[in-house]
Amino acid sequence: MEAHEWGAVASALVAVAAIGAVFFVVRRRRLITDLPTSKVMGVFIGLNELEGTVECEQPLTSPMSATPSVWYHYKVEEEYRRQSTSTDSQGRTSTSQQQGWQHVASDSKCCPFVLRDDTGIIGVDPDGAKVHPTMVLSQTVHRGDPIYNRKGTGRSVRGSTGRRRIQESAVAVGAEVYLLGPAHLPADADAPVIAKNRRVGPLLLSTRGQERVVRGLAAWLIAWFALVFLAAGAAPFLLAGGGDADPVLLGLALVVPLVVMGLGWLLISYNGLVQLRQREARAWSLIEVQLERRHDLIPRLAAAVEAYARHERSTLEEVTALRSGDAGQVDHVEGAPDAAEVVAGTNAADEQTSAIRRLMALSEAYPELRADTVFAELRDELSRTEDRIAMARSYFNDSVTALADRTHRFPENLVAALGRFQAKELFAAEGFERAVPTIADRPDGLASS
């Protein structure tokens, strides 16, 4: 093959690689925009999206700027000017001067940390993550500056001008970050940790925030899309060896990538809708888990109340019913529910809330009960359960909204119609409370002391 033919092949390969990059960016952007942002308390095993503050008891100290951080990267380059002598085929020599920057040193390090939001903390291992850090140092220094040889080679490059360019970026302690990553439960731990697991999903740590990450991906998408057609369109001209390109080949070079990307978009859209439907079903299962946890707490609360309520016959009968599990039983719903099933589940939630209100109101009538350690622990656990229910409901509604947006937005609604994708109703049940009911909610007729 001649040189121009090799050039055409190389241009075609660049176009193929750019198409692959377009697919990657589209999938990553869809993932970030469709995945609901969770609270730390609502993290579940699998892929999660969080926002919070970086905390670390034993942080790293970045070598150049001395920034307490959980991840840093630095790079040192040195400026040079060199004389270069070359000899041509006829034996004539020529001298030219070269000037540029040569790599001297670079390194990256990270350490585990915890991410905190208003609901708690979760451990994060950033090893292997894609990181969008903050630039903490960008400086050009001369010999004699204290930072000149800090982490440098100690020796100058050939033809050095005595200037070094030092750049350092970091994820600092106290920084507000956006985190996308898989959560798992280590064998020796009782709380989930977010760490790299390619089988579950990507691990992304960014100081830019979710909106800037999405905008950055959109810019990359435009750039890769343009490269596809530039490289594909250049191939016929290179194949012609500088002459006029064959119109048929030029047309194919522009149409084929468009068709391939169109088919790829259809595949990505369909698979994305499937993932949204599965996420919606899983979100409902999270609500069921917390409802069952809530139901299991009621008999334990009833047992703590019973000792203080024996002289009240009506209350004792209610306590007995609660202990037997007749009140507040959770109705199981297989898969993601429709509107009718959601309403049915709401009735069970309302019964649970009503029973909890009566128990909490009764506790206000007995100061000794309020001071009881077991009852206080159960009350705190119930409060955490109520928060988890609220977060699970919010996650479910966000998942439903994401699927609804996709199924109503052109042209993706065409794919949704072909695949018979349909979003469920939002879960707006009033039976779920964010806080444990208090004396203000107690029904009339309960005695108070």
- Per residue in 6-30, pLDDT (tens digit) is 888 888 899 999 999 999 999 999 8
Tens digit of pLDDT for each residue in 191-204?
789 999 988 889 99
243 alpha-carbon distance from chain centroid: 50
From residue 50, give the alpha-carbon distance in Å to each of 37, 39, 44, 285: 6, 6, 12, 20
Residue 390 backbone phi and psi in degrees, to 5: -60, -40
Q: Quick check: 284 and 337 in contact, CB under 8 A? A: yes
CB 72 within 8 A of CB 61: no
Considering the domain 269-441, what is its CATH architecture?
Up-down Bundle (1.20)
Q: What single-letter amino acid sits at 247? A: P
How far is 126 from 52, CA to CA, in rounded Å?
Answer: 15
Going from the C-alpha of 404 to that of each of 81, 409, 426, the distances in angstroms are 61, 9, 10
- Residue by residue, pLDDT tens for the chain (449 residues) are 667 678 888 888 999 999 999 999 999 998 898 888 888 887 888 888 999 999 999 999 999 999 999 999 999 999 999 887 777 767 777 777 889 999 998 999 999 999 999 888 999 999 999 999 999 999 999 888 888 887 776 677 888 888 999 999 999 999 999 999 998 888 776 778 999 998 888 999 999 989 999 999 999 999 999 999 998 888 888 777 766 777 888 888 889 988 998 898 888 888 888 887 877 777 777 777 777 777 776 666 666 666 555 544 455 555 555 545 544 444 443 444 443 454 454 455 566 666 666 666 655 655 555 556 666 666 667 777 777 777 777 777 777 777 777 777 787 777 777 777 776 766 665 555 444 444 333 334 333 33
Task: Using alpha carbons, select from 42, 78, 62 the residue that is nearest to residue 159.
Answer: 78
Q: Which residue has the tokens 């990505």?
A: 268
How many C-beta atoms lie closer than 10 Å to residue 364's C-beta? 16
DSSP string, 289-326: HHHHHHHHHHHHHHHHHHTT-TT-HHHHHHHHHHHHT-
In the chain, CATH 1.20.1440.20 covers 269-441
> What value, to the nearest 5°, has the Cα angle with vertex 40 and ends 396 and 184?
90
